[in-house]
Structure 1
Amino acid sequence: MTTTMTPGDRIGALHAAHAAGLLGFLIGLTRGERQTAEDLVQETMLRAWRHADHLPDDPEGARRWLYTVARRLLIDLVRARRSRPPETPVVDLDRACPAEDSTELAVATQAMLAAFGNLSDAHRDVLADLHLRGEAPAEVARKLRVPVGTVKSRAHYALRALRNDMAATD
């Protein structure tokens, strides 16, 4: 007696077998953006459900199909982000000190923002995580999947680059 799986059962089995692996794969490709990776896994499974009749029957073929769809969805997302104009950063006005509102402070702030923008992505990410978000070096290392020493080294060189850039503007 052979039992055939309904499309819902098949997608449920695919999700159980591959969702965790897909999530890990996408977290790596998105540089630790867990929410984005989860959204991509969900969209991948939705596509599998919509095309359940076209999925390969063999488990390895279905796995390859899922990973290919997930990778292509990520590529589409990256392309969409690149085609949009960059978002302006939100400034928390509660943290600004209104008593020191002067031209000198404004110039120093602009110089700091320009220097921060000149940093490499790796240096900027480490400084933002450590100093703006207040994360511990071990947390940042775990998120970036690098040794703690690498996080500390990047922070050191990033701060040095900021100081040099700020000194050049004075």
Structure 2
Amino acid sequence: MKRTSTWARNRAAVAEEALIRALYEEHGRALLAYATRLMNDRAAAEDVVQETLVRAWRHPDALVNGKGSVRGWLLTVTRNIVTDRYRARAARPAEVAETPVTTAVAADHADSVVTSMIVLEALDKLSPEHRDVLTQIYFRGRSVAEAAATLGVPQGTVKSRSYYALRAMRQAFGGGRQVALEEVSA
């Protein structure tokens, strides 16, 4: 008995698949042309035809009940699906594409203020010579040669003072938040 019901179900599934194939072969082109005319979009029309055939598969009794033509039923279902899609699209707010004028918000200004305060506090802990070298190189954007000429010291002195000043700054931060001087001077 179980075997018979499984066989009957398999036979029904094969028959339904054959029915849908036959519907697509006979009416598929007409459905696609109609949906494309209604939607002005071939890809969307293909989706509508697929949905129409799914509905035909779910309601095979509507196809074989003898009331009206099969093509008429399929075209009505297609029109109803297109109408439903237009209504759904109209119910949603319109999507707005992002334009160059509406760009994402940049980093918060508060972060740069906090970073500046941390760096200035660390600079206050340095010796005046080290602070002067970092000010010339990082905040005024001068080269080693320009900083040496402005401060009246040799270039090697500027290099070594900047090295030791940066090392002292790293120690002042205590391995916590790392801040680049370029970030503050920008």
TM-score tier by shorter-chain length is 0.3 to 0.5
Higher CA-based Rg: 2
TM-score normalised by L of structure 1: 0.47
TM-score normalised by L of structure 2: 0.43
